[in-house]
Amino acid sequence: MDRLLRRTGLTIILLGLLCLSSASAQEDAAQALSHSAVLEQSYINQDPVTFDYLVSSNPEMSRKAFLIRFLGLAQMTNEAQQYEVLVYLQYLAQRVQYLLGDNGPSTILNALQSQNPQYLEQATAQYLLLLYPQMADGSGMNTGATTGIEDDSRPTPYDRNQLTVANSGFTSAEWQALRPFYIKLMRTVLAMGYYDPNLLIQELDTFFNYLNEAKQRQRAAGLEVPRLTTQFEALLQVIRTQTTIELGWATNITEESLKLPEEFATPGNKLLLNLVAFRSYIQQQQPEKAQLFLNKAKAVLATDEPDISPVARFTVKTAEVELALTRGEKLSQQEMLRRFDDAWGELQSYTPLQYTEHDSAWYLGRESTKFWISQLGSMGDKGLEKLVTMYATVFEYWKTITSTQLPQYTGDDLLLHFGELESYVILYLSLIDVPLQIVEQDPRILEASGASLEQVAAYESFVKSTAQWVSSSLNLSESGPHFPAFDISNSSYIDELVTRSRYVSAIDPRRPDKQRTTLLTNLLPRIQNLVRPDTYIDYHLKVGRRLRDLGQDNLAVSAFERALKKAEDLGYTGSATEASTLLAEQYGKAKNWEKASQYADKAATNLGNELFTPGGLSDAKMKEKSDEVVAVSVEAHIKSNNPEKALEMLSQSQQAQTASMQLSSNKEAVKASKELNEKNTQLTMLSRKVSQLKTMPESATRDKMLEQAEKLLADGKAAFLTAGRKLREKFEVEYKLSLRYDPLHLPSIQKLLPQDVAVLQYFATDNEFYIFVVSHDDLKLRQVTIKREELDNLVLDYLTALRRLQDTTALSKRLYGVLFEPAAKDIASSKTLILLPSGELNSLPFASLTDATGAPIINSKSLVALGQTDDFRKIAETAPLSINQVAVFANATKDLPSAEREGESVAELFPGSQVFTRDKASKKNLNDFPKFGNALHLATHGTQHPKNSTENYLSLSDGHLEQGEIFRLPLENTALVTLSACSTALREKGNKKFIYATTLAEAFWLGGSRSVVASLWQVDDESTRLLMVEFYKQLKAGESKANALRLAQENLRKNPRFAHPFYWSGFVLFGDYR
């Protein structure tokens, strides 16, 4: 801003004003400065009554106070101080316009925002001459005018349309008859343009009633209803259809319902309604119906009509991407960036304020920008580059609109231009909404794009001044019951935009922390007055997070609590989960563990309502949310000295992940579940619709919509429950666990544990590590002070050394010191340890760890892994199974000859066993394996996907055995499954963050096998053969599975050739250890 002011002649103008030869003029300037100081103090004191009195009681001096303070900005060098003065001047300009009817100050501020120095200098000089005409002589200023600002030479929007009442062709009597219709129409389109549901319902209701009464009067008088009256009615039907869909009040849209009257069936209107219908079905997660309306929109585009906006073309191309993602298509980041460039490129041919049809397309275009802003915001630096491009483009449009005069028609003439005014309103609101969205996504945009602080401040000024101009330029009042109070300047959407403008200004990373804190704190009372529930909740959470990050914990808690209350009142489960989690974290930070655990439990309960709903479990975001909630809850209960409850919460999370994996592994079940989830999404939307309608003033339209919505909601719930029951019946195996949550009852589990068995559940937080030790008669909680990152790096360093056959002694002892030593006394008498690892620990071969003396843990303990504590119930409630024969499948891909020898050696130990190699190692024979034995040995390649367990598979001769197919194998009476040929049990590390992915080993365990032995990595062929044969020998000799594996590993360790733990420690036992 400082550079712009200095590029103009404003400094010279200021010096000229202060150095006027007339002593009275100098005194006048001093009085203006004094008056400004009094005004500014009342502004700082937040005393609007005194402020308005000062402006109204001394109009001339108030105008001069604005001017001289504004000119003084050019002399200021501190940008933060400039900004504070500018905010004060915006308020003063608004009050001068409202109280005195003078838009000169607002015009000057708009000129400043336009970044056009010539326009700024001209606007300021003109206003200066208006207030100080004595400067005109000898000033040397070329203002282009000698009087007021009304001579503004800027272009006006849509200049080609010069329609007025005088040249409209209406007689005086005709206009007086039609005028109320145009007033109603103007009120309606303004309510829609300003996105004010309350006003819109009011105007739709009263307009229809007014039209009906007019028709009745005309018919009663024996007159034919004029065509113009029917055109008004048709136009109103179009507006109602568009509005009810856009605001989410229509959920079952048909092609018939979108048919337009002939006179309004323009390509632009057709395109708009079909895109609105498309968006409605996208929100309802119904891609097939969305596709129908997108096809119709594309057909309109294909006509290449001139009134089709480039913004609409951008919206259609964006819709294609939205549809692809809704259908579950996987688009790479590179492809998404390419699709963005293609869509955004359509705007190269767009110029604002040229065609009303082009500008009104932003009604949907701003929704498309929201989609891209969200997508690009998750793409790191490459996404940031595109966001900067978006911001720069939209800001150029913004400069165009702020460099253009507001429509110059007034009074009744302006009524005839309702379409132009609607387009103008939609455009300018969009050009405020979109940049705010971009900055809200990533505040770094402001600095990266070179945006100045006053640019952000100008958004608020412009939205207010334009709304006030609309209100002051139009007399929309009329007598009668069909013309209730109407004030668009108090629109809830205007209030939202002003609030968001202040929020964006407050989070500017270039501001000092203290200044950001003050601005955010001042914003808190304002966000409490937001009308729309979604916005109210969203901004309480956003502002709360920012204040939390600035160390204002008490203010953050207050904001989160208000968000939680609103979310719970309206049944917004997802928002309630988020707010509860944030509150649990805050109270945990304050060491108030009682409240932290209360909010954590509330978050878990809310999350449970989402997790254990058909169709909800396969959502990756839901799993991430589950991990976050559980982590907070477990730590809160640990700190509250309630380890049993903490263990229960861990068990709940583990059950959720297991259920999700089982459900998502059956493609047919996933498809059916997705359809059911779509119904659930529709129910959520209907529930929100009912809540929103109930908060609106009573009216015929509101009551009718509420009745329809409540009926649809009731019918939808019944249909959802019926469909859910049918789905459970059809996919009984997959839903056996996924639709049931069994709370962990620790005493019952403990009673089942033998005296010589202990369970170790590991749990890491950012700064601490915990070990739950569960035995037959006790529960102990051991704490280790080690950061999660440090432990993860220790594990990864150990695995790297292990696979490179390096010396692992020191690393092994350090890990033993973290994982076993703290619980040494608790597990001293236990012969078998059941391990429940988490995170990177899932990749760790615990058997290889050595104590301080160098002795491996397996010297004294047998080890077994489980997915969750409650799995022990499955073991204890069944009798152990011994092996009679083994069905061996080996070398299915014909590149593992040693696997054949291994399989044959195993089969020789159990007479009657069957070996299937090469082409015979097929899925068909695998499905029949129980005919050949109650144990299954698979020595064939397996592929483990690092992030998505549904893509795991084993390679057989006739194709891949996918994870979903494992659940349908006849495994119920299988004593043991062995996976020996590759890294079938290893979870990988994704980027810097561990990604949970269920393993093939766990899939066989969950599918019904009593026990599973699997390798964590691909081991030397000969060492694998030796270990497997020894393992089966020990089993045949009567050893338990856990001890058989331990003895086989010890035996191989004694072989000098294979003494390194890489060769013998990579096999893990899952499930029944007996």
151 or 281, greater pLDDT: 281
Query: 3-class secondary structure for 196-257?
Result: CHHHHHHHHHHHHHHHHHHHHHHHHCCCCCCHHHHHHHHHHHHHHHHHHHHCCCCCCCCCHH
β-pair type (935-939, 953-956): unpaired
Query: Above 90 in pLDDT, residue 810?
Result: yes
For 346, residues 6+ apart whose C-beta sits below 8 A from its C-beta are 310, 311, 313, 314, 317
> Which of 600, 727, 736, 577 has the alpha carbon at shortest distance from 655?
736
Query: Above 80 in pLDDT, residue 580?
Result: yes
In the chain, what percentage of residues exceed pLDDT 70?
76
Contact present, 878 and 895 (Cβ < 8 Å): no
For 715, residues 6+ apart whose C-beta sits below 8 A from its C-beta are none
Q: How large is the average pLDDT for residues 543-559?
A: 96
DSSP 260: P
Query: 3-class secondary structure for 549-613?
Result: HCCCHHHHHHHHHHHHHHHHHHCCHHHHHHHHHHHHHHHHHCCCHHHHHHHHHHHHHHHHHHHCC
What was the pLDDT predicted at 811?
95
Q: Angle at Cα 260 formed by Cα 259 and Cα 263, nearest 5°?
A: 155
Q: Angle at Cα 31 formed by Cα 26 and Cα 37, nearest 5°?
A: 130
β-pair type (832-836, 862-865): parallel
- CATH fold group of domain 879-1039: Rossmann fold (3.40.50)
Query: Above 60 in pLDDT, residue 551?
Result: yes
pLDDT tens-digit readout, 599-635? 988 887 776 555 444 344 444 455 566 667 777 888 8
pLDDT tens-digit readout, 492-530? 888 888 899 999 989 988 889 999 999 999 999 999 998
Largest CA distance in the chain: 121
What residues does 890 pair with on adjacent strands?
A: 917, 939
Burial class (CB within 10 angstroms; exposed 0-12, middle 13-18, buried 19+) of 325:
middle
Helices 643-664 and 620-639: angle between axes, nearest 10 degrees? 170
Whole-number Å distance between alpha carbons of 976 and 926 = 14
Q: How large is the average pLDDT for residues 298-305?
A: 85
Contact present, 773 and 758 (Cβ < 8 Å): yes
What was the pLDDT predicted at 98?
77
For 4, residues 6+ apart whose C-beta sits below 8 A from its C-beta are 112, 115, 117, 120
**Range with the poorest average pLDDT among 110-124, 210-224, 664-678, 894-908:** 664-678
Residue bearing tokens 């809850």: 633
What was the pLDDT predicted at 1069?
93
- Which amino acid does the sequence have at 812? S
225 or 682, greater pLDDT: 682
Domain boundaries in the chain? 2-151, 165-443, 573-744, 758-874, 879-1039
- Highest average pLDDT, of 306-310, 475-479, 726-730, 816-820, comes from 816-820
**Range with the poorest average pLDDT among 36-40, 396-400, 631-635, 917-921:** 631-635
pLDDT tens-digit readout, 939-955? 887 776 655 556 677 88
**pLDDT confidence tier of residue 1050, bands split at 50, 70 and 90:** very high
1059 backbone dihedrals φ, ψ, rounded to 5°:
-70, -25
DSSP for 955-975, please give it. Answer: EETTEEEEHHHHTTS--TT-S
DSSP for 174-196, please give it. Answer: HHHHHHHHHHHHHHHHHHHHTT-
Whole-number Å distance between alpha carbons of 99 and 88 = 16
What b/e sequence results for 1041-1058 when a residue is b if at least 16 CB atoms lie within 10 Å of its CB, and e otherwise?
bbbbbbbbbebbbeeeeb
N-term to C-term CA, the chain:
78
What b/e sequence results for 379-418 when a residue is b if at least 16 CB atoms lie within 10 Å of its CB, and e otherwise?
beeebbebbbebbebbbebbbbbbbbebbebeebbbbbbb
Whole-number Å distance between alpha carbons of 437 and 640 = 41
What residues does 311 pair with on adjacent strands?
A: none
Query: Above 60 in pLDDT, residue 709?
Result: yes
Whole-number Å distance between alpha carbons of 954 and 628 = 32
Q: How large is the average pLDDT for residues 760-770?
A: 86
Whole-number Å distance between alpha carbons of 1068 and 1074 = 14
Whole-number Å distance between alpha carbons of 945 and 925 = 25
**pLDDT confidence tier of residue 370, bands split at 50, 70 and 90:** very high
Query: Above 50 in pLDDT, residue 19?
Result: no
Contact present, 900 and 890 (Cβ < 8 Å): yes
pLDDT tens-digit readout, 50-95? 788 888 888 889 999 998 888 877 667 677 777 788 888 988 998 8
Contact present, 497 and 432 (Cβ < 8 Å): yes
Whole-number Å distance between alpha carbons of 526 and 617 = 38
> Which of 24, 25, 23, 51 has the alpha carbon at shortest distance from 37?
51
* 3-class secondary-structure state, position 760: strand
Whole-number Å distance between alpha carbons of 420 and 161 = 9
What was the pLDDT predicted at 202?
85
For 698, residues 6+ apart whose C-beta sits below 8 A from its C-beta are none
DSSP for 825-893, please give it. Answer: TTTTT-SEEEEE--GGGGG--GGG-B-TTS-BGGGT-EEEE-SSTTHHHHHHTS-------EEEEE-TT
Q: Angle at Cα 247 formed by Cα 582 and Cα 564, nearest 5°?
A: 15
- Which amino acid does the sequence have at 959? G
Burial class (CB within 10 angstroms; exposed 0-12, middle 13-18, buried 19+) of 353:
buried
CATH 3.30.420, applies to 758-874: yes
pLDDT tens-digit readout, 237-265? 666 676 666 555 555 666 666 665 555 56
Contact present, 1011 and 975 (Cβ < 8 Å): yes
Burial class (CB within 10 angstroms; exposed 0-12, middle 13-18, buried 19+) of 318:
buried
What residues does 960 pair with on adjacent strands?
A: 955
DSSP 989: E
Query: Above 80 in pLDDT, residue 867?
Result: no
**Range with the poorest average pLDDT among 177-191, 407-421, 580-594:** 407-421
Report in angstroms the alpha-carbon separations of 468 from 90, 98, 392, 473, 486: 13, 7, 28, 8, 13
**Range with the poorest average pLDDT among 277-291, 595-609, 673-687, 708-722:** 673-687
**Range with the poorest average pLDDT among 54-68, 720-734, 903-917, 1011-1025:** 720-734
Structure tokens at 553: 């914990």
Whole-number Å distance between alpha carbons of 686 and 251 = 8
Q: Angle at Cα 1065 formed by Cα 1061 and Cα 1071, nearest 5°?
A: 170
β-pair type (976-979, 1011-1015): parallel
DSSP for 617-683, please give it. Answer: TT-HHHHHHHHHHHHHHHHHHHHTT-HHHHHHHHHHHHHHHHHHHHHHT-HHHHHHHHHHHHHHHHH
**pLDDT confidence tier of residue 148, bands split at 50, 70 and 90:** very low
β-pair type (976-979, 942-943): unpaired
Neighbours of 860 (CB within 10 A): 14
Report in angstroms the alpha-carbon separations of 836 from 523, 636, 843: 47, 20, 12
What was the pLDDT predicted at 958?
85
Question: What is the pLDDT of the chain when averaged over all its residues?
Answer: 79
Whole-number Å distance between alpha carbons of 313 and 986 = 48
